[in-house]
Structure 1
């Protein structure tokens, strides 16, 4: 098969490559140790997010609007890392660097969908904390199961449409030069810049996408916490304020883990060496899904109590089985 497959028709210059080559980690020293680390991160991420999802599903006390968002975040983390990490390991650890054109676009779609949904899920959790602290008496009315489900589904629909537009614009491009993607996955920016024809629409999407997926969610979260801090400073004593703010620590930890590394990469992108940029971006994509369930299990009292209840129930069932035998 030729590297480039031209479109049918003699006078059409449109060219679609048979495959791309993902070359982000090629040439880095001792990089195999990093892949062992990624495998460890992936295993912990799968176990942690699966446990969080099972605990929320099995414990009816956690069937609240807040934990709908937590369940969705665990699902996104699990699905996102499962879409990203195994392919990274297969690509670089087993030297399968080539990926077909269609598979590359599919890979791009799932990676961007999950990574983007993480940010919007943090917005849903921020809204939950905002209403719970500013309007505690109206919380049950304002944040219902239906409202949270509608918000989460709306975010999913928005993300899927946005990513489909970004990926769909790739299909109008003609590739007649290099097919080497200098990234750890089929990165949208790295792919469309390989094109020979005009990629201005793709360029516009690449500038607009972070605004809606990164900057606006971050701005909403920061403003919501400014309101929370202002409210607690006015109407609560120090002890009451600390008690109320303690319910936000888990969410704030998730926000810091997700946004701060990306903020550093975005602001220092021109000064960072390409290899360091690839390592940093891969870590910011893979690390939060591993840490999110650990943070929620350790810092959320409801989940810790739920785990204890489920363990006690399991122990009682085991004792009953032994007694019957």
Structure 2
């Protein structure tokens, strides 16, 4: 066991939990993981490309949606390449700086998703409940401010949360998970980490509880407005669009809460904790483009056009 008695421990070598993959399944796991990563990159980059290069999609709703695949690619890239390398090489070592960067990117991915999903709910609330004021409340300047505030706010909050752990002395070098996160870095510390834990609770309330309150309020208002709408087609379209967003928000919220709680209860099986952690980073990037691509006709049609153009270009 390596012990670091000074706060400057960026070059310290850490060891992650073993993957416990039977020898006969190593290459199967590697191939499956590689295909999953390729699928995540392809689907999310397709969504990004479609929105960027289709002028008809340059509306607030789709510009806000554009941030989700960017975050999904970030989260998957922070985890899967390093994990795939570990599967083949059986090397579970990682530097403290590499661990810190992985944790930073993964937490930005998770927090960013919550806040952009909340911003999208606000956009739908204005579009459906206050349609006459939509263009004055969601101008390009306001939209830019929302995006900038979310990105810089998330980066600042997460950097502070992780930065506090670097000031403590370490007495362990074993990461109790298959990837790095703030809870796993805190568990390396041999000092009182109550400040970090309290800030972590504050962050959870701000990034998860806050969005739940906002999304709950906006969707209650949207539902009430749709019930009053006498046009079945308009009502059905609004409910379909918002339903897709709400399902993904609730799914992401659910798996994140369970994964976070698993770290706070020692009785939870390590295998369950690992599975939950990986599911938070892998499932949303896979499902997100599929859910929005299949249920948002305008996006779906333009995605197909982009694919057809790419095929014609190759020919």
Residue ranges of structure 2 left out of the alignment (5+ in a row): none
Matched residue SS, 1:51? helix
The equivalent position to 2:20 in structure 1, one of 21, 27, 45, is 27
Q: Give the conservation status (yes or no) of the 8 Å contact 2:104–2:162.
A: yes
Residues 278 and 195 (structure 1), Cα distance of their counterparts in 2 relative to 1, 3 Å cut: same
Matched, 1:286 2:291: no
Q: Give the conservation status (yes or no) of the 8 Å contact 1:73–1:121.
A: yes
The equivalent position to 1:247 in structure 2, one of 241, 250, 275, is 241
Residues 216 and 241 (structure 1), Cα distance of their counterparts in 2 relative to 1, 3 Å cut: same
Question: What is the CA distance between 1:99 and its match in structure 2?
Answer: 1.2
Q: Give the conservation status (yes or no) of the 8 Å contact 1:173–1:192.
A: no
The equivalent position to 1:217 in structure 2, one of 201, 211, 215, is 211
Residues 82 and 15 (structure 1), Cα distance of their counterparts in 2 relative to 1, 3 Å cut: closer
Paired residue total: 310
Q: Distance in 1 between matches of 2:231 and 2:58?
A: 31
Matched residue SS, 1:185? coil
Corresponding residue for 1:11? none
- Can you list the C-alpha shifts for 1:253-277, whole angstroms capped at 9, x where unaligned? 3213312222444567746422112
Residues 62 and 166 (structure 1), Cα distance of their counterparts in 2 relative to 1, 3 Å cut: same
Corresponding residue for 2:250? 256
Corresponding residue for 2:160? 165
Residues 4 and 18 (structure 1), Cα distance of their counterparts in 2 relative to 1, 3 Å cut: farther
Corresponding residue for 1:10? none
Corresponding residue for 1:299? 295
Comparing 73-82 with 257-266, greater Cα deviation is found at 257-266
Corresponding residue for 2:178? 184
Query: How do residues 52-131 of structure 1 correspond to structure 2 at under 5 angstroms?
Result: 52-131=47-126
Residues 284 and 311 (structure 1), Cα distance of their counterparts in 2 relative to 1, 3 Å cut: closer
Matched residue SS, 2:90? coil
Q: Give the conservation status (yes or no) of the 8 Å contact 1:28–1:275.
A: no
Q: Distance in 2 between matches of 1:183 and 1:268?
A: 11
CA RMSD between the two structures: 2.7
Matched residue SS, 2:169? coil
Residues 308 and 190 (structure 1), Cα distance of their counterparts in 2 relative to 1, 3 Å cut: closer
Question: What is the CA distance between 1:36 and its match in structure 2?
Answer: 4.0
Question: What is the CA distance between 1:35 and its match in structure 2?
Answer: 4.9
Q: Distance in 2 between matches of 1:135 and 1:29?
A: 57
Question: What is the CA distance between 1:94 and its match in structure 2?
Answer: 2.1
* TM-score (normalizing by structure 1): 0.86
Comparing 233-242 with 99-108, greater Cα deviation is found at 233-242
Matched, 1:198 2:197: no
- Can you list the C-alpha shifts for 1:196-236, whole angstroms capped at 9, x where unaligned? 12212111122222111222112221221111112222343
Q: Distance in 2 between matches of 1:219 and 1:303?
A: 28
